[in-house]
Amino acid sequence: MVGKSELVAALEESRRRTLGLLAPVPDDLQRVQVSPLMSPLCWDLAHIGHFEELWLVRELAGAAPSVPRFDDVYDAFRHPRRERPSLDLLDAAGARDYDAAVRTRALEVLDRIDLEGGDPLLTDGFVYGMIVQHEHQHDETLLATLQLMHDFVHPDADGRGAGPNDGSALLARPLDVLVPAATFVMGTEAEPWAYDNERPAHTESVDAFRIDTTAVTNGAYAQFVDSGGYDDRACWSDAGWGWCTEAGLTAPQFWQRAADGGWTRHRFGRDEPLPEDEPVQHVCWYEADAYARWTGSRLPTEAEWELAARGASPATANLWREGPHRFAPSPVTGGCERASECGALGMLGDVWEWTASDFTPYPGFRAFPYREYSEVFYGPEYKVLRGGSWATHPSAVRTTFRNWDFPVRRQIFAGFRCARDA
Ligand SMILES: [Fe+2]
């Protein structure tokens, strides 16, 4: 049972994160669109408040909208991201004020509501968990936008401190582990804040397979690039090759060739040497698939990934927590405290991992509490990503958590690991 004080604390933490991330960004820069793939930062900021008003004030208390036109401006389904800068948006200061006013009302509602009354929206604080996760998910989106601002140096992303496992390399680590054939329960009924797409828990069978103990590193991926993988048709699926040539892909996003022939990367406004032992990020699904083919492997299916992740703990994962950050994945050389039951490291945190699977509903799926969270996205256009990244808050990821995106997307903090038949 989740208490009201825990819900308030979770709401307050997500808001500290949002405001902290944006505090160094001048207000006028928050109104700018840096890429047609992303919203202006101030759109995300007010959308966070609008979504909170919709659920924690209007839905729970039956209140009228405070600003009716926001139902159009801040509804993600009415305006694609490329259109959003032309809308009549609140500026950053206005968005902060709006969010604060909504929060005050939401806490008043929470104060007088009965969480134990049997409403499925309120059971275990579900709708509050949804709002907390939503804000953290948008915070990760804000980070992706900030990363795309080529010339904006985020002062908190200064590389101070090392990843939690830096320097503790286990030299004898096997490259992959065997996961025996299994019939297991996929998805969850037990996680109170799980989304509809993680339900219902159901039985799934997989054949034995091998999966890499770590995500593919920058160093390993650079070998693929340097050996001509982006010019080698044989490495790519038909769709992948079509995209690689159309988009002119030559390396992961934000990589730059250094004068000495090696690589640097651009990260939150700075150039730095490419850290070879960090998981590669900012590769699209097609690039992940091509690398896997190059090594004679494949991407794991979503079921294989979830089975291999069993027992992975968010507590030891490189996820977003309050306090100093590197704004980067950790080196893959972690200790065994980061291992899942099968011995795979870093299944949670560091980078989202592309899987081979399309985003489809589990057998018996029911949309809850609204169709637009998951149901409208099901289909072959989207690939599933698993495990969360360094930018994901622990409340917004589980071994059952499913994320999805188009196979061409690279601005997200996504990498991958390889699998193969046993
Ligand atoms: Fe949203």
The rounded Å distance from CA 180 to ligand 1 centre is 39
The chain-wide mean pLDDT, for the chain, equals 94
pLDDT at 90 over 60: yes
Output the CA 335–ligand 1 centroid distance in Å: 36
For residue 335, what pLDDT is reported?
Answer: 65
Q: Does pLDDT of 167 surpass 50?
A: no
- Measured in angstroms, how far is the CA atom of residue 252 from the centroid of ligand 1? 27
**Separation of CA 344 and ligand 1 centre (Å):** 32
Q: 263 - beta bridge partners? A: 257
Q: How far is the CA of 235 from the centre of ligand 1 (A)?
A: 36
Measured in Å, residue 75 CA sits from the centre of ligand 1 at 8
Q: What is the pLDDT of residues 12-31, one digit of tens each?
A: 999 999 999 999 999 999 99
> Could you tell me the distance, in angstroms and rounded to a whole number, from the CA of residue 341 to the centre of ligand 1?
34
Q: Which helix or strand (DSSP H or E) is residue 324 part of?
A: none
| Ligand 1 centroid to residue 47 C-alpha, Å | 7
Q: From the CA of 51, how far away is ligand 1's center (Å)?
A: 7
Phi, psi of 215 (to 5 degrees): -65, 155
Residue 134 CA to ligand 1 center (angstroms) comes to 6
What is residue 356's DSSP assignment? E
Q: What is the pLDDT of residues 342-366, one digit of tens each?
A: 999 999 999 999 999 999 999 999 9
DSSP string, 188-210: -SS-TT--GGG-S-EEEEE--EE
pLDDT in tens, 364-406: 999 999 999 999 999 999 999 999 999 999 999 999 999 999 9
| H helix or E strand, kind and range, residue 93 | helix 92-112
Q: How far does the centroid of ligand 1 lie from the alpha carbon of residue 377, in Å?
A: 14
Distance 145 CA to ligand 1 centre (A): 14
CA of 11 from ligand 1 middle (Å) equals: 16
Å from CA of 119 to ligand 1 middle: 23
Note the pLDDT tens digit of each residue in 192-238.
999 999 999 999 999 999 999 999 999 999 999 999 999 999 999 99
**169 pLDDT higher than 70:** no
76 alpha carbon – ligand 1 mean position (Å): 6
Give me the residue label for tokens 């209007």. 58
Out of 136-140, 258-262, 263-267, 331-335, pick the least confident. Answer: 331-335
311-316 contacts at long range (C-beta below 8 A, 24 or more positions apart): 311/339, 311/340, 311/341, 311/342, 312/338, 312/339, 312/340, 312/344, 312/347, 312/348, 312/387, 312/399, 313/337, 313/338, 313/348, 314/348, 314/349, 314/394, 314/397, 314/398, 315/394, 316/164
On the question of pLDDT at 86 being above 80, the answer is yes
Quick check: 308 and 340 in contact, CB under 8 A?
A: yes
- Mean per-residue pLDDT, 314-341: 87
Please give the distance, rounded to the nearest whole angstrom, from the Cα atom of residue 48 to the centre of ligand 1. 7
C-alpha of residue 127 to centroid of ligand 1, in Å: 14
Per-residue pLDDT, averaged over 283-304, amounts to 98
Rounded to the nearest whole angstrom, what is the distance from the C-alpha of residue 46 to the centroid of ligand 1?
10
SS3 state of residue 237: coil
Ligand 1: centre distance to CA 18 (Å): 13
Give dist(CA 378, CA 386) in Å, integer: 16
- Span from the CA of 367 to the centroid of ligand 1 (angstroms): 17
Q: Looking at residue 258, what is its pLDDT?
A: 93
Query: What's the pLDDT at 166?
Result: 42
Instruction: Give the pLDDT band of residue 161 (cuts 50, 70, 90).
Output: very low
Residue 165 has pLDDT above 80, yes or no: no
With bands split at pLDDT 50, 70 and 90, how would you rate the model's confidence at 168? Answer: very low
Distance 182 CA to ligand 1 centre (A): 36
